[in-house]
Amino acid sequence: MTQAAAPTTGDARTALEARARAMLDRGPAWLAAHRRGALERFAARGFPTTRDEDWKYTSLQPLARAAWTRPAPPDLARAREALGRLRLHLSGGLTLVLVDGIPVPELSVLPPGLAGISIRRLAEAAVARPEFVEPYLARVAAGGDRPLADLATACFEDGLYLHARRGTCLPVPVEVIHLTMTAGAAVFPRTLVVAEPESRITVVEHHVGLTDAPYATLPVVEVAVGRNAAVEHVLWQDDAASAVHAATVAVRQDRDSRFASHVLTLGAGLARNDLGVGLAGEGAECTLDGLYLVFGSRHADHHTRVDHWKPHGTSRELYKGVLDGQATGVFNGKVVVHPGAQKTDAQQANHNLLLSPDATADTKPELEIYADDVKCAHGATVGRLEEERLFYLRSRGLPEQAARDLLLRAFARDVTDRISIEAVRARLDRWMTERLPALAGREEGA
């Protein structure tokens, strides 16, 4: 995938299970029990293979076949230098920085006077605030067959705890920058967001690699959205081209709550996102948007699952992908309307644009409906850039590359427009301006 040296070829399972065993007694007893259970499940099951239905189109060989190491102590000077250009610099904004999955307070920016918001290291919150952490940590992301989340639960050392107290509306987004710096390491960033009733919080999690050598990052994000609360979450993945990024995002929503997710998959050689939302209270609403720009010989797989458990729930989902070179994209969107979830309104769409004859996209909607008074719709397309559109723009004097870029942006536009944070939209726009011409069709490995 790149020129950089791969970590020692070996067995990730052996290396990571050993690491998990060393973590078994860390934290309070309830957490240790989760770790033990997660490790037992993973040890019995191992990494998924393409024989597993949910992994049919995504081979985890690049993850499974390397003896990933523990991260080294961070080089703060280098991190600080990178943060200068990575930070969104929102006025009055706060930036929390994790290096290789571990919070680094010296690099973070926390303005004073954040009433109603509690921000802590997760390991510390698990001890100090068990009443808020125990009900959610390793529980929101539990259930079903989730080997990678299990592995992460068994291995993670620390993470971030964000808590909005009842009625608190945080006016600026919480910016979280996850830097991976150790070549050859496996890292397990962990985030827990607890939004109490009537609160409102926006979290932008930005994943970036500061090494060109392969690494593996397996983030787990758990979000509990209280009654009538609102959470907006951006997972902005710009990991290194040689990296494996396999994220699990799990959300539980109470009555009348709103959750908006924006997944931006721009990097990583192998990217897999599992996003699961449980609408556990009546009248809850979620919006799941995703944009994946996949070039060269990269692979990006997005699996989403929405469980409608209660009546009057709404889910809206729009994922769009642009694929070039020999890139491959997978979208699998499952919507389950459970018995009794009447008046559910679920819509899902996935559209893919193939820029080269060798790029492919697999898209699969799955609807399971066990209630009779519901409205569910889905649509999926895989298409190519229309030559006639390109000719039209060129005939008006736009150079070919500019015309292609314009059409690409136009394609992505309805997803990007829905991100409420102007600074993120602007950054994404700049990313496209700088990277699209260079990436198009002639990237590494293409």
Partner 1 sequence: MLEIVGLRARVGGKEILRGVDLTVRAGEVHAIMGPNGSGKSTLAGVLAGRETYEVAGGTVTLDGKDLLGLAPEERSWAGVFLGFQYPVEIPGVTNATFLRAALNARRRRRGEPELDAVDFLALVRRKMKALEMDEAFLHRSLNEGFSGGEKKRNEILQMTLLEPRLALLDETDSGLDIDALRVVAGGVNALRAPDRAIVLVTHYQRLLDYVAPDRVHVLSQGRIVLSGGPELAKELEKKGYGWLQTAGTAGAPARS
Q: Residue 411 CB, nearest distance to partner 1 (Å)? A: 6
Q: Please, which residue, 372 or 388, has the CB nearer to partner 1?
A: 388
Cα Rg of the chain, angstroms = 21
Binding flags for partner 1, 403-432, as an x/- string (CB under 8 A): x--xx-xxxxxx------------------
Q: Are 121 and 128 in contact (CB under 8 A)?
A: no
Cβ atoms within 10 Å, residue 23: 18
Of the candidates 335, 272, 273, 270, the one whose C-alpha atom is nearest the C-alpha of residue 297 is 270
Q: Residue 408 CB, nearest distance to partner 1 (Å)? A: 10
Residue 292 binds to partner 1 (criterion: CB under 8 A)? no
Alpha carbon distances (Å) from 44 to 4, 49, 70, 160, 250: 33, 14, 23, 29, 23
Residue 370 binds to partner 1 (criterion: CB under 8 A)? no
Q: Residue 390 CB, nearest distance to partner 1 (Å)? A: 9
Choose the stretch contacting partner 1; rule: CB under 8 A; options: 3-11, 172-180, 350-358, 380-388. Answer: 380-388
Residue 13 binds to partner 1 (criterion: CB under 8 A)? no
Alpha carbon distances (Å) from 10 to 7, 49, 183: 9, 17, 15
Residue 357 binds to partner 1 (criterion: CB under 8 A)? no
Residue 398 binds to partner 1 (criterion: CB under 8 A)? yes
Residue 399 binds to partner 1 (criterion: CB under 8 A)? yes
For residues 24, 28, 29, 34, the Cα torsion angle rounded to the nearest 10 degrees is -60
Choose the stretch contacting partner 1; rule: CB under 8 A; options: 76-84, 166-174, 393-401, 422-430. Answer: 393-401
Give the DSSP per-residue string, 256-301.
T-EEEEEEEE---SEEEEEEEEEE-STT-EEEEEEEEEE-TT-EEE
Binding flags for partner 1, 295-324, as an x/- string (CB under 8 A): ------------------------------
Residue 392 binds to partner 1 (criterion: CB under 8 A)? yes
DSSP class of 319? E
- Applying CB under 8 A, what is the total number of residues that bind partner 1? 24
Per the listing, tokens 């190491």 go with 69
Given the rule CB under 8 A, which residues bind partner 1?
386-389, 391-400, 402-403, 406-407, 409-414
